[in-house]
Amino acid sequence: MKFGKSVCIINVGGTKYAFPKDVIKDFPLRRVSRLHSCASEREVLEVCDDYDRERNEFFFDRHSEAFGFIMLYVKYGKLRFVPHMCELSFYNEMIYWGLESSHMEFCCQRRLDDRMSDTYTHFTEEHHKTADEFRTEESTTGKRDSKWLERMRRTFEEPTSSLAAQILASVSVIFVIVSMVILCASTLPDWKTAESNIVEEHRIIEAVCIGWFTAECIVRFIVSRDKCEFVRRPLNIIDLLAITPYYISVTMTVLTGENSQLQRAGVTLRVLRMMRIFWVIKLARHFLGLQTLGLTLRRCYREMVMLLVFICVAMAIFGALAQLLEHGLDLESGNEEYASIPAACWWVIISMTTVGYGDMYPITVPGRVLGGLCVVSGIVLLALPITFIYHSFVQCYHELKFRSARCTRSLSAEFLN
């Protein structure tokens, strides 16, 4: 902080907390840490409700008891609900100070999810700002973009932010669907015959779709605030992977022509062509379900890794035992489908997931007993991390639903105006 004394006083609903200025800079609560970057009293009042320059005291008109429990999280790393306080009210306080439901203990997270499922509620826009939105505010204070550029950015990045953004998103979805239909139809056996008779209309449509996607990607790159951050985003990387193969295919066709070199490169071209299936993931920008799935996978990567570890350990154990019981004990009359542990691991994975293709199965009594144990253990092992993943999915769904409802209300106001 560029003003005030070396000790800062945080007054929350009448309860005061004193902190050194250096502690404020890296404070775990995002709203409190924002005070350190404030350069004027006007900016301070955007973060807190009142400020006393003589005492260097920041006043927040919030629930003091709830903030006391939040301070226990800051001190001990454990966040629980305040007794006899509404879960949604406490969650509202958490969002105000910059915390999420993922910071809470597991039992309290379940209580919050149950309450959210029973009562659909909307939080105010100020209280429901995410970390990205706070970073956006901080960047805009130092760098003021023009109004039209900001509107263009929101139109392309947030499909529900305005009526124009919804129209643009609808057109983009139509192009994605058309591109996928053409890609699927091009693999039909009769497509080559029809292709020679219809003057290759599908190539024109394909070029128009790719042109739209390219123009959209370029515009979004131009209007983005941070170009490096734009390139690192997963959806933007997928867009680039889906656009590039088309231009590579066109370039190779122009350079080689319809000759033997192109025939030798046919496999490469088909691989590049199929990479356009990544456009399906582009629909995640416009559908809440796909966004929820992606956010859940990102937050539950530890549980996913744990699930993969469970499966790999079970495959190693049951695969070795299956190979031993079905082939290793009797090399002459053993089951040839279990001649190696990798082959047995294939049987283990389809048994644990209860798929059961029937392409290979045990024929000995010990092998069948082992198969039964493999199926039962697979059900148990796969079910263990599912609870955590389901809990995170519900949480992510509610967060994105609240955000979408907030944008819908702003869209309705814009339409009425």
Task: Examine residue 350 and state whether it is found in any structural domain, yes or no.
Answer: yes
User: CATH number for the domain including 303?
Assistant: 1.10.287.70
Is residue 82 within 8 Å of residue 66, measured between CB atoms? Answer: yes
pLDDT digits (tens, 9 = 90+) for 252-292: 777 765 544 444 455 666 666 676 677 777 777 777 777 78
Which residues constitute the domain of residue 305?
A: 291-408
Question: How, if at all, do strands 57-60 and 15-20 pair?
Answer: unpaired
Please provide residue 264's backbone torsions phi and psi, each rounded to the nearest 5 degrees. -65, -30
Q: What is the CA radius of gyration of the chain?
A: 29
CA 170 vs. chain centroid, Å, equals 21
For residues 182 and 92, membership in a common domain is answered with no
pLDDT digits (tens, 9 = 90+) for 288-336: 777 788 888 888 888 888 888 989 999 999 999 999 988 877 766 778 8
The region of weakest confidence among 47-56, 149-158, 265-274, 358-367 is 265-274
Tokens of 262: 């192109």
For residues 282 and 357, membership in a common domain is answered with no
Those residues whose C-beta lies under 8 Å from the C-beta of residue 49, and which sit 6 or more positions away, are 59, 60, 61
Interhelix angle for 341-352 vs 365-383, to 10°?
A: 50
263 burial class (0-12, 13-18, 19+ CB within 10 angstroms)?
Answer: exposed
For residues 271 and 295, membership in a common domain is answered with no
**Quick one: DSSP state of residue 324?**
I
For residues 392 and 370, membership in a common domain is answered with yes
pLDDT digits (tens, 9 = 90+) for 79-108: 888 888 888 888 888 888 888 777 777 778
Q: Which residues pair with 57 in a beta bridge?
A: 9, 52
Is residue 71 within 8 Å of residue 19, measured between CB atoms? Answer: no
CA 66 vs. chain centroid, Å, equals 30
Task: Examine residue 258 and state whether it is found in any structural domain, yes or no.
Answer: yes
- Identify the domain boundary among 65, 83, 105: 105
For residues 172 and 270, membership in a common domain is answered with yes
For residues 270 and 167, membership in a common domain is answered with yes
User: CATH number for the domain including 55?
Assistant: 3.30.710.10
